Amino acid sequence: MFRTEFPRSTARRPAFTLVEALIALSITSLAGAVLLLSVQSSLDTTIEAVERTIADGVAQQTLDEVLTKRYVGQGDSPLLVTLGAATTELLGQGTSLFDDTDDFNGYVAQPLKGTYGEILGTGDDNGNPRLANFRVRSDFFQNWRVRVDVYYLDPTNPMNASAAPTNYRAIEVHVELIRPNGQAVPLASRKRVITYVPPPTS
């Protein structure tokens, strides 16, 4: 019996050369780097949006706290030359002894604090610690700062500050993030204009 043998093909099978493989790896690496940068940028944007949302809530909460106080202390003139807390009012924890709006002028807290001086998010409404599972991480607000300015406004143009006492006051609350280099990054601001209305005389 005769067996016919066919000659083997001398054609080379297609394959990647070393140069082609290196080019493919380079392109893949560049694509991966671009993808990672995109993800990092998205994360940074999300974190910043969350921080600004929280800061706006803190600013509104602080402003609401100021607005729950009397315009002027009992027996005081509404046209005080100097706005700010008295020495006795500064003896309390946080802002617990502030009883009128001008006490908040110049108030600064870093990290953010509640009414009774506790780190914001760690205490209840009475200054006691909340349950551990409901507390904000202790260092979350470590680099955050809140500032409050109270000043008089020109009655003829409430957009302008007044050097002299008037019956119009502006309350501004600023929440900032303090970077490691000391730079203050504004996160949120809230402003309210209030006026003094004399009590009715009988």
Q: What residues form DSSP beta bridges with 146?
A: 109, 175
**Cα–Cα distance measured from residue 51 to residue 182, given in angstroms and rounded to the nearest whole number:** 18
For residue 83, count other CB atoms closer than 10 A to its CB. 18
Residue 193 DSSP code = E
pTM for this entry: 0.76
Q: What is the pLDDT of residue 34?
A: 78
Asked if 169 contacts 70 with a C-beta cutoff of 8 angstroms, the reply is no
Q: What is the pLDDT of residue 23?
A: 81
**pLDDT, tens digit, for every residue of 32-62?**
877 777 777 777 778 889 999 999 999 999 9
**pLDDT, tens digit, for every residue of 110-134?**
999 989 989 888 888 787 888 888 8
pLDDT at 146 over 80: yes
The structural domains of the chain, with segments of one domain joined by +, span: 41-195
Asked if 77 contacts 107 with a C-beta cutoff of 8 angstroms, the reply is no
